[in-house]
A and B are shown apart, each in its own frame.
Chain A
Amino acid sequence: MLELLATHYAYALMFVLIAIGLYMIIANQNLVKKVIGVSLFQTAIFLFFISMAYVEGGSAPIVPADETPGELVVASPLPQVIVLTAIVVSIALTAVALSLVMRIYAEYGTLREDTLTEVRADE
Protein backbone atom coordinates (compact mmCIF):
# COMPACT_ATOMS: atom_id res chain seq x y z
CA MET A 1 0.00 0.00 0.00
CA LEU A 2 2.77 2.45 0.98
CA GLU A 3 4.75 1.50 -2.11
CA LEU A 4 1.67 2.13 -4.26
CA LEU A 5 1.27 5.58 -2.67
CA ALA A 6 4.95 6.37 -3.35
CA THR A 7 4.72 5.51 -7.07
CA HIS A 8 1.22 6.91 -7.59
CA TYR A 9 1.49 9.96 -5.29
CA ALA A 10 0.01 12.48 -7.73
CA TYR A 11 -2.99 10.28 -8.56
CA ALA A 12 -3.57 9.54 -4.85
CA LEU A 13 -3.47 13.29 -4.14
CA MET A 14 -5.91 13.82 -7.03
CA PHE A 15 -8.45 11.41 -5.48
CA VAL A 16 -8.13 12.99 -2.03
CA LEU A 17 -8.61 16.50 -3.51
CA ILE A 18 -11.68 15.32 -5.45
CA ALA A 19 -13.05 13.94 -2.16
CA ILE A 20 -12.40 17.25 -0.36
CA GLY A 21 -14.03 19.21 -3.21
CA LEU A 22 -17.08 16.93 -3.18
CA TYR A 23 -17.31 17.25 0.61
CA MET A 24 -17.27 21.05 0.32
CA ILE A 25 -20.03 20.98 -2.32
CA ILE A 26 -22.23 18.66 -0.23
CA ALA A 27 -21.57 19.72 3.36
CA ASN A 28 -20.68 23.42 3.46
CA GLN A 29 -23.77 25.58 3.89
CA ASN A 30 -22.22 28.85 2.67
CA LEU A 31 -22.69 29.31 -1.10
CA VAL A 32 -19.29 31.01 -1.55
CA LYS A 33 -17.62 27.99 0.05
CA LYS A 34 -19.53 25.69 -2.30
CA VAL A 35 -18.11 27.64 -5.26
CA ILE A 36 -14.62 27.28 -3.74
CA GLY A 37 -15.33 23.53 -3.49
CA VAL A 38 -16.13 23.34 -7.22
CA SER A 39 -12.91 25.23 -7.95
CA LEU A 40 -10.91 22.82 -5.75
CA PHE A 41 -12.47 19.83 -7.54
CA GLN A 42 -11.36 21.30 -10.88
CA THR A 43 -7.74 21.78 -9.77
CA ALA A 44 -7.72 18.08 -8.79
CA ILE A 45 -8.61 17.17 -12.39
CA PHE A 46 -5.89 19.56 -13.67
CA LEU A 47 -3.38 17.72 -11.44
CA PHE A 48 -4.51 14.42 -13.01
CA PHE A 49 -3.76 15.66 -16.55
CA ILE A 50 -0.43 17.23 -15.56
CA SER A 51 0.78 14.08 -13.82
CA MET A 52 -0.17 12.02 -16.90
CA ALA A 53 2.03 14.28 -19.03
CA TYR A 54 4.96 14.01 -16.60
CA VAL A 55 7.90 11.77 -17.44
CA GLU A 56 10.50 10.78 -14.86
CA GLY A 57 13.90 12.40 -15.48
CA GLY A 58 12.55 14.55 -18.31
CA SER A 59 12.38 18.32 -18.78
CA ALA A 60 9.68 20.87 -19.61
CA PRO A 61 8.24 20.62 -23.17
CA ILE A 62 10.82 22.86 -24.85
CA VAL A 63 12.34 21.33 -27.99
CA PRO A 64 15.68 22.22 -29.63
CA ALA A 65 15.67 24.31 -32.82
CA ASP A 66 16.29 21.26 -34.96
CA GLU A 67 13.97 19.76 -37.59
CA THR A 68 15.00 16.18 -36.70
CA PRO A 69 15.65 16.31 -32.94
CA GLY A 70 15.98 12.52 -32.33
CA GLU A 71 15.13 10.99 -28.93
CA LEU A 72 13.82 13.67 -26.56
CA VAL A 73 12.75 13.14 -22.95
CA VAL A 74 10.35 16.04 -22.39
CA ALA A 75 6.86 16.09 -20.83
CA SER A 76 3.97 15.56 -23.26
CA PRO A 77 2.64 18.99 -24.36
CA LEU A 78 -0.93 17.85 -25.17
CA PRO A 79 -2.39 17.33 -21.66
CA GLN A 80 -0.71 20.58 -20.59
CA VAL A 81 -2.49 22.52 -23.36
CA ILE A 82 -5.85 20.99 -22.37
CA VAL A 83 -5.23 22.13 -18.78
CA LEU A 84 -4.29 25.67 -19.91
CA THR A 85 -7.64 25.87 -21.72
CA ALA A 86 -9.48 24.33 -18.76
CA ILE A 87 -7.99 26.83 -16.27
CA VAL A 88 -9.35 29.73 -18.34
CA VAL A 89 -12.75 28.03 -18.62
CA SER A 90 -12.73 27.42 -14.85
CA ILE A 91 -12.26 31.12 -14.10
CA ALA A 92 -15.19 31.90 -16.43
CA LEU A 93 -17.30 29.35 -14.54
CA THR A 94 -16.28 30.78 -11.15
CA ALA A 95 -17.15 34.31 -12.31
CA VAL A 96 -20.66 33.29 -13.45
CA ALA A 97 -21.25 31.24 -10.26
CA LEU A 98 -20.18 34.14 -8.03
CA SER A 99 -22.39 36.62 -9.91
CA LEU A 100 -25.33 34.24 -9.35
CA VAL A 101 -24.38 34.11 -5.66
CA MET A 102 -24.45 37.94 -5.56
CA ARG A 103 -27.92 37.96 -7.16
CA ILE A 104 -29.18 35.36 -4.67
CA TYR A 105 -27.91 37.54 -1.82
CA ALA A 106 -29.60 40.63 -3.29
CA GLU A 107 -32.87 38.68 -3.61
CA TYR A 108 -32.96 36.74 -0.32
CA GLY A 109 -30.42 38.46 1.97
CA THR A 110 -28.63 35.27 2.92
CA LEU A 111 -25.88 33.02 1.59
CA ARG A 112 -26.68 29.98 3.73
CA GLU A 113 -28.25 27.04 1.96
CA ASP A 114 -30.43 25.93 4.91
CA THR A 115 -31.85 29.45 5.41
CA LEU A 116 -32.48 29.75 1.65
CA THR A 117 -34.43 26.46 1.66
CA GLU A 118 -36.60 27.77 4.53
CA VAL A 119 -37.22 31.13 2.84
CA ARG A 120 -38.11 29.43 -0.46
CA ALA A 121 -40.47 27.02 1.36
CA ASP A 122 -42.32 29.95 2.97
CA GLU A 123 -42.98 31.63 -0.37
Chain B
Amino acid sequence: MSALAYALVAFVLATAIATALFRDVLSTIVVFGAYSLGMAILYTYLLAPDVAMTEAAIGAGVTTVLLLLTIARTTRPSPDQLFERLDVPAVVAVGAFLLVAGTQVLPEMWAVGDPTAPVWSNAEVSQYYIQNTYADTHAQNAVTAVLAAYRGFDTFGEAVVVFAAGVAVLLVLKREVFV
Protein backbone atom coordinates (compact mmCIF):
# COMPACT_ATOMS: atom_id res chain seq x y z
CA MET B 1 0.00 0.00 0.00
CA SER B 2 1.51 3.29 -1.11
CA ALA B 3 1.26 6.84 0.21
CA LEU B 4 -1.20 7.63 -2.60
CA ALA B 5 -3.54 4.88 -1.39
CA TYR B 6 -3.35 6.20 2.18
CA ALA B 7 -4.17 9.72 0.99
CA LEU B 8 -7.11 8.50 -1.14
CA VAL B 9 -8.54 6.40 1.72
CA ALA B 10 -8.23 9.38 4.08
CA PHE B 11 -9.94 11.71 1.56
CA VAL B 12 -12.81 9.30 0.88
CA LEU B 13 -13.30 8.70 4.61
CA ALA B 14 -13.28 12.42 5.45
CA THR B 15 -15.80 13.31 2.71
CA ALA B 16 -18.06 10.37 3.69
CA ILE B 17 -18.15 11.49 7.32
CA ALA B 18 -18.79 15.10 6.26
CA THR B 19 -21.65 13.83 4.03
CA ALA B 20 -23.26 12.11 7.01
CA LEU B 21 -22.84 15.02 9.41
CA PHE B 22 -23.45 18.27 7.47
CA ARG B 23 -26.87 19.63 8.35
CA ASP B 24 -27.32 21.78 5.24
CA VAL B 25 -28.52 19.53 2.39
CA LEU B 26 -26.75 21.61 -0.30
CA SER B 27 -23.39 21.22 1.52
CA THR B 28 -24.08 17.48 1.82
CA ILE B 29 -24.69 17.18 -1.94
CA VAL B 30 -21.51 19.08 -2.80
CA VAL B 31 -19.39 17.02 -0.38
CA PHE B 32 -20.99 13.84 -1.76
CA GLY B 33 -19.89 14.90 -5.27
CA ALA B 34 -16.33 15.25 -3.94
CA TYR B 35 -16.67 11.81 -2.33
CA SER B 36 -17.69 10.26 -5.68
CA LEU B 37 -14.70 11.88 -7.37
CA GLY B 38 -12.34 10.57 -4.67
CA MET B 39 -13.88 7.13 -5.12
CA ALA B 40 -13.30 7.35 -8.90
CA ILE B 41 -9.60 8.10 -8.32
CA LEU B 42 -9.43 5.17 -5.86
CA TYR B 43 -10.93 2.88 -8.55
CA THR B 44 -8.23 4.07 -10.97
CA TYR B 45 -5.59 3.25 -8.35
CA LEU B 46 -7.18 -0.23 -8.02
CA LEU B 47 -6.74 -0.81 -11.81
CA ALA B 48 -10.34 -0.17 -12.87
CA PRO B 49 -10.21 2.87 -15.20
CA ASP B 50 -13.48 1.95 -16.98
CA VAL B 51 -15.36 1.88 -13.68
CA ALA B 52 -13.65 5.09 -12.60
CA MET B 53 -14.87 6.93 -15.70
CA THR B 54 -18.42 5.67 -15.20
CA GLU B 55 -18.34 6.64 -11.51
CA ALA B 56 -17.02 10.13 -12.31
CA ALA B 57 -19.69 10.69 -14.98
CA ILE B 58 -22.64 9.08 -13.19
CA GLY B 59 -21.75 9.27 -9.48
CA ALA B 60 -20.19 12.71 -9.40
CA GLY B 61 -22.10 14.12 -12.40
CA VAL B 62 -25.63 12.79 -12.91
CA THR B 63 -26.38 11.95 -9.26
CA THR B 64 -25.32 15.45 -8.16
CA VAL B 65 -27.55 17.03 -10.82
CA LEU B 66 -30.54 14.85 -9.81
CA LEU B 67 -30.04 15.72 -6.12
CA LEU B 68 -29.72 19.45 -6.89
CA LEU B 69 -32.88 19.30 -9.05
CA THR B 70 -34.73 17.64 -6.18
CA ILE B 71 -33.84 20.29 -3.60
CA ALA B 72 -34.56 23.02 -6.18
CA ARG B 73 -38.07 21.57 -6.73
CA THR B 74 -38.75 20.88 -3.05
CA THR B 75 -37.14 22.66 -0.12
CA ARG B 76 -33.78 23.28 1.46
CA PRO B 77 -34.29 23.88 5.17
CA SER B 78 -32.11 26.76 6.40
CA PRO B 79 -29.86 25.19 9.02
CA ASP B 80 -29.36 26.71 12.46
CA GLN B 81 -26.10 24.87 13.05
CA LEU B 82 -23.31 23.42 10.87
CA PHE B 83 -23.47 19.77 11.91
CA GLU B 84 -26.24 17.28 12.74
CA ARG B 85 -26.58 16.12 16.34
CA LEU B 86 -25.28 12.54 16.68
CA ASP B 87 -28.05 9.97 17.05
CA VAL B 88 -26.67 7.82 19.92
CA PRO B 89 -28.74 4.61 19.39
CA ALA B 90 -27.88 4.64 15.67
CA VAL B 91 -24.17 5.14 16.47
CA VAL B 92 -24.31 2.17 18.87
CA ALA B 93 -26.03 -0.06 16.30
CA VAL B 94 -23.61 0.90 13.53
CA GLY B 95 -20.64 0.57 15.93
CA ALA B 96 -21.74 -2.98 16.80
CA PHE B 97 -21.82 -3.82 13.08
CA LEU B 98 -18.33 -2.35 12.63
CA LEU B 99 -16.99 -4.29 15.64
CA VAL B 100 -18.28 -7.63 14.33
CA ALA B 101 -17.14 -6.91 10.76
CA GLY B 102 -13.71 -5.68 11.86
CA THR B 103 -12.88 -8.47 14.30
CA GLN B 104 -14.66 -11.47 12.74
CA VAL B 105 -14.92 -10.89 8.99
CA LEU B 106 -11.91 -8.74 8.05
CA PRO B 107 -9.15 -11.16 9.27
CA GLU B 108 -10.78 -13.97 7.24
CA MET B 109 -10.55 -12.07 3.93
CA TRP B 110 -7.68 -12.28 1.44
CA ALA B 111 -5.22 -9.38 1.47
CA VAL B 112 -5.96 -6.66 -1.11
CA GLY B 113 -4.12 -7.49 -4.35
CA ASP B 114 -3.01 -10.98 -3.25
CA PRO B 115 -2.24 -12.88 -6.50
CA THR B 116 -3.13 -16.23 -4.86
CA ALA B 117 -6.68 -15.08 -3.98
CA PRO B 118 -9.18 -17.32 -5.82
CA VAL B 119 -11.03 -14.36 -7.34
CA TRP B 120 -7.99 -13.58 -9.44
CA SER B 121 -6.08 -16.88 -9.78
CA ASN B 122 -9.08 -19.11 -10.64
CA ALA B 123 -8.08 -20.81 -13.90
CA GLU B 124 -11.66 -21.52 -15.06
CA VAL B 125 -13.12 -18.05 -14.56
CA SER B 126 -10.93 -14.91 -14.24
CA GLN B 127 -7.90 -16.39 -15.94
CA TYR B 128 -10.04 -17.86 -18.76
CA TYR B 129 -11.35 -14.38 -19.65
CA ILE B 130 -7.90 -12.79 -19.36
CA GLN B 131 -6.28 -15.46 -21.57
CA ASN B 132 -9.01 -15.86 -24.22
CA THR B 133 -10.54 -12.38 -24.59
CA TYR B 134 -8.54 -11.52 -27.69
CA ALA B 135 -8.93 -14.94 -29.33
CA ASP B 136 -12.72 -14.98 -28.70
CA THR B 137 -13.77 -11.38 -29.33
CA HIS B 138 -10.82 -9.52 -30.91
CA ALA B 139 -11.27 -6.74 -28.35
CA GLN B 140 -8.20 -5.74 -26.35
CA ASN B 141 -10.13 -4.19 -23.49
CA ALA B 142 -11.27 -7.21 -21.47
CA VAL B 143 -13.97 -5.17 -19.67
CA THR B 144 -15.54 -4.12 -22.97
CA ALA B 145 -15.30 -7.70 -24.23
CA VAL B 146 -17.19 -9.10 -21.22
CA LEU B 147 -19.72 -6.24 -21.16
CA ALA B 148 -20.62 -6.27 -24.85
CA ALA B 149 -19.71 -9.77 -26.07
CA TYR B 150 -19.67 -12.49 -23.39
CA ARG B 151 -22.40 -10.85 -21.28
CA GLY B 152 -24.19 -8.82 -23.94
CA PHE B 153 -27.61 -10.02 -22.82
CA ASP B 154 -26.94 -8.82 -19.26
CA THR B 155 -26.12 -5.38 -20.64
CA PHE B 156 -29.41 -5.48 -22.54
CA GLY B 157 -31.14 -6.30 -19.24
CA GLU B 158 -29.44 -3.29 -17.70
CA ALA B 159 -30.90 -1.09 -20.44
CA VAL B 160 -34.34 -2.54 -19.61
CA VAL B 161 -33.81 -1.56 -15.95
CA VAL B 162 -33.01 2.02 -16.96
CA PHE B 163 -36.10 2.12 -19.21
CA ALA B 164 -38.28 0.80 -16.35
CA ALA B 165 -36.84 3.44 -14.02
CA GLY B 166 -37.61 6.17 -16.56
CA VAL B 167 -41.22 4.96 -16.87
CA ALA B 168 -41.49 4.79 -13.06
CA VAL B 169 -40.24 8.38 -12.69
CA LEU B 170 -42.80 9.63 -15.24
CA LEU B 171 -45.60 7.70 -13.50
CA VAL B 172 -44.67 8.89 -10.00
CA LEU B 173 -44.42 12.53 -11.10
CA LYS B 174 -47.65 12.21 -13.17
CA ARG B 175 -46.01 13.59 -16.30
CA GLU B 176 -46.05 12.57 -19.93
CA VAL B 177 -42.59 13.84 -20.96
CA PHE B 178 -39.31 14.60 -19.20
CA VAL B 179 -38.29 18.28 -18.62
Q: Is the CB of A95 within 8 A of B16?
A: no
Interface residues of A in 58-111 (CB under 8 A from B): 58-69, 72-81, 83-85, 87-96, 98-103, 105, 110-111
Interface string of B99-136 (1 = CB under 8 A from A): 00110011101011111010110000110011101110
Q: Is the CB of A24 within 8 A of B19?
A: yes
Asked if B41 lies at the interface with its beta carbon under 8 angstroms from chain A, I say no
Q: Is the CB of B48 within 8 A of A105?
A: no
Q: Is the CB of A87 within 8 A of B55?
A: yes
Task: Give the size of the chain B interface in residues (CB under 8 angstroms).
Answer: 92
B134 proximity list for chain A (CB < 8 A): 63-67, 69
A39 proximity list for chain B (CB < 8 A): 32, 59, 63
Interface residues of A in 3-33 (CB under 8 A from B): 4, 6-13, 15-20, 22-24, 26-28, 30, 32-33
Chain A contact-residue range equals: 35 or more
Q: Is the CB of B135 within 8 A of A26?
A: no
Contact A79:B119 (CB < 8 A) given known A95-B66, A95-B165: yes
Q: Which of B12, B43, B114, B143 contacts A77 (CB 8 A)?
A: B143
Q: Is the CB of B9 within 8 A of A13?
A: yes
Q: Which of B1, B54, B58, B90 contacts A9 (CB 8 A)?
A: B1
Q: Is the CB of B107 within 8 A of A95?
A: no
- Whole-angstrom CA separation of A24 from B98 in the bound complex: 15
Asked if A47 lies at the interface with its beta carbon under 8 angstroms from chain B, I say yes
Interface residues of B in 2-44 (CB under 8 A from A): 5-6, 9, 12-13, 16-17, 19-20, 25, 28-29, 32, 35-36, 39, 42-43
- Whole-angstrom CA separation of A46 from B46 in the bound complex: 12
Asked if B81 lies at the interface with its beta carbon under 8 angstroms from chain A, I say no
B32 proximity list for chain A (CB < 8 A): 36, 39-40
Residues of B within 8 A of A (CB): 1, 5-6, 9, 12-13, 16-17, 19-20, 25, 28-29, 32, 35-36, 39, 42-43, 46-51, 54-55, 58-59, 62-63, 66-67, 69-71, 73-75, 77, 84, 86-87, 90-91, 93-95, 97-98, 101-102, 105-107, 109, 111-115, 117, 119-120, 125-126, 129-131, 133-135, 140-143, 145-147, 151, 154-155, 158, 161-162, 164-166, 168-169, 172-173
6 tightest A-B CB contacts, nearest first: A56-B113, A92-B165, A27-B87, A77-B142, A75-B47, A27-B90
User: Can you pick out 15 interface pairs between chain A and chain B where the beta carbons lie within 8 Å of each other?
Assistant: A7-B112, A9-B9, A9-B112, A13-B12, A32-B25, A43-B36, A60-B47, A63-B130, A67-B135, A78-B146, A88-B58, A88-B158, A99-B169, A102-B74, A111-B74
